[in-house]
Structure 1
Amino acid sequence: MSLLRRRGGRIGLGVQSKVLIALLLVSVLSVLVTGSIGYVSGTNSLRSAEFKNMTQVRESRAREITQYFRTVSDAASIVTHGATTVNATRDFAAAYRELDATPPTPEDRDAVRRYYDTVFAPELSKQSGQPADPTLFVPNGNAAIALQNAYTVPAGGDFEKALTLRAAGPPDAWSEANDRYQRFFADLTTRFAFEDSLLIDTSGNVVYTAYKGADLGTNLFTGPYKATLLADSYRKALQATSVDQTFITDFERYPPAYDKPTLWVISPIGDGGAIQGVLALQLSIDGINDVMTGNREWEADGLGATGETYLAGPDRLMRSVSRRLLTDPQAFVGEVVDNGTPTEVAEREVAVKGSTLLQPVNTVAVDRALEGESGTVTDNDYIGPASLVSYMPLDIPGLNWVLVAKIDEDEALAPVNQFARNIALSTATIVLVVCILALLLSRMLTRPVARIADAVRRVRGGEVGVSIPVTTKDEFGDLAAEFNDMSESLRTKQELIDEQRREIDDLLATLMPETVAQRFRQGEQAIGGDHRDVSVIYAELLHFQDFARALSAEESVRTLNDLIEAFDAAAERHGIERVRNLHNGFLATCGLVVPRVDHASRTAAFAVDLVEVINVFNDRHDAELALRIGIDSGQVSSGLIGQRTRIYDLWGEAVDLAHRVHAATDRPGIFVSDRVHANLTALYTFTEEGRLAGPEGEEPVWSLRVPARSA
């Protein structure tokens, strides 16, 4: 058939020609438009996905570094309450006063002075890169000279050797105290990877250090380190309103650590209201770097070959190590110098193998984070190349730090360039194939197109799993196969959506009653209700922490889960509705979701079962766990609270009274309000335990006598 047709003396294109030309035009234009849209969409999608990944990495690192400081702060607070620390502070302070009252011999003074001239000052100069004047650091106090002559000088700057010294000095009270307590504080320091542990009395005297460094015996009010952040935070600790408070300092260059960037966690020492002294724990910079580098597993954390996370302070200097410095120090020097870092600073970073308080990070991301913002930006990084950056401020008390996660833009968007090349090659291939085959296939367009159109209509109508027979190996066959893949993908995605919906329903069932979950799924925002006659039980698990100290974290969690499962099984037997679990107990109701006339007796029977569960557990594990349970009946309110995070909660007079009844005494047992006692006197034996204030005056609290255990 000719491509040109003559009609009425005019030459025109035939239908086949028009179809061929239209097919060529549509095919070529479609591929070009699709490729352009795909390139732009792919670039934006990949950029968005990489920003999302950087944000996830940023949030993960923020949680890890915040938890690191929270753990250290909690450890410091716990240690300062212990009898060992309190007694050690008292003994060292008394021994220090005795030493300070005795002038040292000229030989002792000369020995200490020689140590600073020949050991301390040269090492400080070497580590800091600046000449050090030893006269600025030689102590003047009697006790400081005596202690450093007995412990610091013999160690010769070897901190590990000093850590093993227990009774190196003369047989005085301080040496006896050091012999008694050194093992404890050495274990504390090494176990938690601290750089040092200091005990400071209320007069500013450093009466003890684990490593017996140059700060031993000095005074933070008048001595050579009175202007340090350690001294500032020590003053704050003395003015603390509670011995539970902890204070964290920013990094500073601390001379006794040979000018190494030093960060302190400080907590008052005391076993009651009075502060006996202050504990200062010198944190390891390596611990912070391990968190921020993910133990150098950058690629496993999704940071590729160029990504990293780092900390920065208000001075726009790093508070952690640079990845590039660790992986390629020589390339690091050239890159940061080209980006504005002074050469001597970059070389200093290589020499000390660290970036803390050295590497400037004057970037848009750091500036915005220091202003309290969180977000993402494309900007040149401190190393130079344009990067995809995610930033946020950190919520660590005492520290104005920000966290930045970044990856080079070229690496992040490399798949887009490959995609563009593939689009160009695909376009050229498709144009060539269409030009050759369009003439032969023009007559076959109607049938496969109709078949595909019918299948598309079925999919559009909601049918899943639609499949087209692939009878040819041309473009229409490819289109049919692609459609089948798409249809199968839609079916798979629908199955995943259905599975996710089921999982969400299961999750909602664990967080709230089914009736509330149904209303929540239907879009209700303010869900609540009042319940007139409900029993509330508040149970607190006692002594579990003491029991769990001998267990690993996994064993502790597994044991606690076994207890919770036993509690839940007992609740299911008695028709008890759990509201929420606490870290050491739970809150539950009876008669809230399913109205019950016997809600009080069911709750009491449930409480008795809980006691039996604990008894069985104690027999099995040779433990001494116990429960303190409070029960009340009355009117309560319940509902979903919170906007971003939805929580099903319970409140009201009965909830408040159940908690107060449980807290009426500090011993374990089952304690009920007067209302519950009145309903259960025929079923159980009670004894009056005490009285508490109620809405109508004082009312008694009753202790339920648990039936004796059967053999």
Structure 2
Amino acid sequence: MTDASSPTDPIPPSDGAREHGQRDHIGATSPRRGRFPGFLTRGSLDVQSKLLVMLLAVSVLAALVVGAVGYLNGRDSLQAAALNQVTSLREARITELKRSFTQFTDTVVAQTRNASVIGATKAFESGWDELRNRPVSNADRQKVDDWYADTLVPQLDRASGGTADPQQFAPTSDPQAYLQARYTAPFTDYDEAIAQDDAGDGSAWSKAHAEYQPYFKQAVETVGYEDLLLMNTDGDVVYSAYSGADLGTNLDDGPYRESNLATGYRDALRLTTSDGFVVTDFQRYVPSLNVPTLWVMSPVGEDGKVIGVLAVQVPLALISAVMTGDQGWKADGLGDTGESYLVGDDRLMRSYPRQLLQHPAQYERDVVAAGTAPAVAKRQVQVKGSVLLQEVDTTPVSRALQGKTGTVIDSDYRGKEVLAAYAPLEVDGLRWVVVAQMDTSEAFAPVNTFARNLALALVGIIVLVSLLSLVLAQVFVRPIRRLQRAVNRVSAGELGVEVRTKAGDEIGDLGLAFNDMSRSLQVKQDLLDEQRRQNDSLLLTMMPEDVAKRYKQGDDTIAADHQDVAVVYADLIGFDDFAKGLSAEESLALVNDLWRSLDEAAGRYGIERVRTTRAGYLASCGLSVPRVDNVRRVVEWAEESQRVLERFNGQHGSRVGLRAGIDAGQVTSGLVGRASLVYDMWGDAVNLAYRVQGIAPSPGVYATQRVVDKLGDRDGIVDAGEVQTQSGPQRIWKLEQVQS
């Protein structure tokens, strides 16, 4: 607010002058008033155009709202149905996979308790021991080496895409070389090898092979094993149904000692009962040409003693048949994109994806676009499989590996948005993940079709409504134009104009209302006269009656001198800091509330407000009505104003103070200005009161010596310094509040 001013500066009247000037225009009529609202002006639309736009907007909006509600509800329903479908598929696949594994492992365990398997294990072990003492000819060794170099390694290189060294697979024992020379090397195809029962060498091992090979061959072909092996307790593979490269190898120190076959074999030996079994996770196995291989193993026992281990290679077709439903996706209600698949804890697939089986070229493009290495994608298409090749690092897999079960809409391994149901799968020690999914593009296809139909219907509605709106607009606008012509006649000064109309709708009611308006113009004129009288009353609230009378008479200069008038100028301290966080409207409203409270106090003490600004309040006592105790009344009003501010601070948590200056003496009052008049007061007493309130920065009531002398023996008067005036220094006193 204002802290100080020049001794000769008058109190700035600009704010009050503007305020009073605005009040002088109360009741004034704009030159444009009286024109009928809503008709065409330059740059705006006429009623007909607005009506046309309105009808179109309402129709289009209604269609859009109905379509949006239908679209969202349909999408939610389809989403719920699709998620229920993939969830059911997930549970069905888990149940079927567990059932298949249980059935498979039960079959393997039952085999180990079969007398033929027990007899075969003992017979092959005996034949193996006999071969330890039978020398191997150089011809046999060369035959085996040639088979590795000319048959196994080329096939392995083609299958794996690498380059293998034949020496790393070379036999490490005489029995291995002997058996592979007679049962492995003669054949280039495993189906030929399994068909041979007896090599005709007369050995005990060949005798056992001739006896038991038909049995194992039938078991392999009936159940669909990829291979069946027998190992003794020393780690030797003493029998292989297909007589592959692992025949005769040792799982403890041979070339396949790091394979899952060797790991599962060692775990199986540690089992304490022949009813137990071990299932290994998929791992690439060289004798199977590096194809991912899963083994089920169970110890072979006799009289409570483990005499060997039976290992069965689980066919990939078993898992694929379960996860693809024997490729009957559509029969399972999965449409063109639904599928289910397995993922291991290494985030690599354990089953075949649908798209790879049905559309390999598109599958390759999609997975490469989603981040799979082109060589890996190409390899999957070449081998027609993705086990241990395709990485699936997606949200469903991550959540399932954390042990969570649920559904989600997210991108899959192809980068396609899908509705997926996921769950962890714990089966026989394997930690896998089952995911069932369907592309959202297919799941929401009916909704998209509905959206297209809605768009076509919307276009038709717009055309139809446009034609209908043109006709209706003409009908609606015709009576309005008649009314417009009548309004123009009235605006030209013609009274008593009426339009031909009838009630029944809003336009008819408008015509009747216009006729009433035309007949009541004289009444309105009388009301204007009454308004002028009210303006006169308002004028009296802005200035004394004698001044107002002289002003209405047209006097150019209106002023009057007054003797012995008590003058007070009050200034708000700290309001700007309080109002920093407020808007302009909020700040002004609070100031107006303060002035209103001070005006009410002024009325009680006989104080006459001269004018106010946003910061200051100028008032007097004894100006219009002479009062003997005018000084006392002003001081009491100033103290009451301090209490008003204390209540304000308590209500708003502010620290606004009142700094008031009081003087008494001769003043002059009158109207100032021409275009915007303001009733003002000036003189030495006014100037000194203004300067007195600025003597100290802190709030309080400050008075001149003249005021203190009139107060008599009042308590709480403190010396506050002095100010210099044209007549010399003036002593200033601070009036402390006196407790009543």
User: Taking structure 2 as the reference length, what is the TM-score of the superposition?
Assistant: 0.54
Shift of 1:23: 13
Counterpart residue number, 1:121: 153
* CA distance in 2 between partners of 1:26 and 1:103 (Å): 100
Contact preservation (8 Å) 1:198, 1:279: yes
Q: Quick check: 1:184 aligned with 2:212?
A: no
Could you tell me which residue of structure 1 aligns to residue 349 of structure 2? 318
Residue 79 of structure 1 and its aligned partner are, at CA, apart by 0.7
Task: Report the Cα distance in structure 2 between the residues aligned to 1:23 and 1:258, rounded to whole angstroms.
Answer: 75
Aligned pairs for 1:467-616 within 5 A: none
- 1:160-175 → structure 2 map (5 Å cutoff): 160-175=191-206
Q: Does 1:375 align with 2:406?
A: yes
**Residue 176 of structure 2 aligns with which residue?**
144
Between stretches 113-122 and 209-218, larger displacement belongs to 113-122
User: In the alignment, which residue of structure 2 is the partner of 1:662?
Assistant: none
Is contact 1:199-1:207 (8 Å) kept? yes
| 2:510 aligned partner | none
Say whether the 8 Å CA contact 1:189–1:197 is kept in structure 2: yes
Q: Report the CA distance shift for 1:396/1:38 in structure 2 as closer, same or farther (over 3 A).
A: same
Q: CA deviation at 1:413?
A: 0.7
Q: Which protein shows a greater Rg?
A: 2
Q: What does 1:26-45 correspond to in 2, within 5 Å?
A: 32-45=64-77
Secondary structure, aligned partner of 2:197: coil
1:213-232 matches, cutoff 5 A: 213-232=244-263
SS in 2 for 1:104: coil
Q: Is the 8 A contact 1:366 1:404 kept in 2?
A: yes
Amino acid at match of 2:77: S
Match among 372, 379, 399 for residue 348 of structure 1: 379
Preserved contact between residue 151 and residue 169 of structure 1 (Cα < 8 Å):
no
Give TM-score, length-normalised by structure 1: 0.56
Amino acid at match of 2:447: V
Shift of 1:433: 8.6
Shift of residue 111, structure 1, vs aligned partner: 1.4
| Distance change (3 Å), C-alpha of 1:23 and 1:127 | closer
Q: Does 1:393 align with 2:431?
A: no
SS in 2 for 1:225: coil
**Aligned CA distance change for structure 1 residues 428 and 105 (closer, same or farther; 3 Å):** closer
Moved more, 428-437 or 47-56: 428-437
The Cα of 1:421 is off from its aligned counterpart by 3.2
Counterpart residue type for residue 210 of structure 2: D
CA distance in 2, matches of 1:321, 1:149: 37
Match in the other structure for 1:417: 448
- Other structure's SS at 1:144 match: helix
Choose which of 109, 127, 132 in structure 2 pairs with 1:95.
127
% of aligned pairs identical? Answer: 46
Is contact 1:82–1:271 with CA below 8 Å preserved after alignment? no
Structure 2 SS opposite 1:208:
strand
Relative to 1, partners in 2 of residues 1:393 and 1:26: Cα closer, same or farther, differing over 3 Å?
A: same
Tell me which of the two structures has the higher relative contact order, counting C-alpha pairs closer than 8 angstroms and 6 or more residues apart. Answer: 2
Structure 1 residues 138-186: Cα deviation after superposition (integer angstroms, max 9, x where no partner): 112111111111100112x311111111111411111111111001100
Q: Deviations over 1:368-404 (max 9, x none)?
A: 1111111111111111221111111112112111111
What residue in structure 1 maps to residue 111 of structure 2? 79
1:132 has 2:164 as partner: yes
Distance 1:432 1:131, change over 3 A: closer
Helix, strand or coil for the counterpart of 1:300? coil
Residue 102 (structure 1) shift: 2.1
The match for 1:293 is 324
Q: Give a deviation string over 1:529-556, Cα, whole Å, max 9, x none.
A: xxxxxxxxxxxxxxxxxxxxxxxxxxxx
Structure 1 distance, partners of 2:359, 2:454, is 36
For residues 105-136 of structure 1, give each alpha carbon's deviation from its aligned partner in whole angstroms, at most 9, with x where no partner exists: 22211211111111111111111111011111
Q: Which amino acid aligns with 1:198?
A: L
In the alignment, structure 1 segments of 5+ residues that lack a partner are 1-21, 439-711
Distance 1:330 1:421 in 2: 31
Please give the per-residue CA displacement for 1:471-521, whole angstroms capped at 9, x wherever unaligned. xxxxxxxxxxxxxxxxxxxxxxxxxxxxxxxxxxxxxxxxxxxxxxxxxxx
Distance 1:397 1:190 in 2: 24
Residue identity in the other structure for 1:397: D
Q: CA deviation at 1:258?
A: 0.9
Q: Look up the equivalent residue of 1:275 and give its one-letter code.
A: V
Separation (CA, whole Å) in 1 of partners of 2:374 and 2:113 = 48
The structure 2 residue matched to 1:60, chosen from 84, 89, 92, is 92
Alignment match, 2:186: 154
Moved more, 177-186 or 58-67: 58-67
Matched, 1:245 2:276: yes
**Hey, what's the Cα distance between the residues in 2 that align with 1:359 and 1:114?**
35
Judging changes above 3 Å, is the alpha-carbon distance between structure 1 residues 27 and 121 closer, same or farther for their aligned structure 2 residues?
Answer: closer
Q: How does 1:594-673 map to 2 (within 5 A)?
A: none
SS at match of 1:317: coil
Please state how far the C-alpha of 1:423 moved relative to its aligned partner.
3.9
Residues 1:421 and 1:255: Cα distance change in structure 2 (over 3 Å): same
1:50 is the counterpart of 2:69: no
CA–CA distance in structure 2, aligned partners of residues 214 and 169 of structure 1: 20
Secondary structure at the counterpart of residue 75 of structure 1? helix
CA distance, structure 2, for counterparts of residue 255 and residue 435 of structure 1: 76
Are 1:106 and 2:138 an aligned pair? Answer: yes
Distance 2:183 2:353 in 1: 37
Q: CA deviation at 1:430?
A: 7.5
Report the Cα offset of residue 286 of structure 1.
2.0
Q: Which runs of 5+ in 2 are unaligned?
A: 1-53, 470-740
CA RMSD of aligned residues (A): 2.8
Number of residue pairs the alignment of both structures matches: 423
Aligned to 1:267: 298
Tell me how far 1:30 sits from its aligned partner.
6.2
Q: 1:81 to 1:431 in 2, by over 3 A?
A: same
Match of 1:361 in 2: 392
Deviation at 1:101, TM superposition (A): 2.4
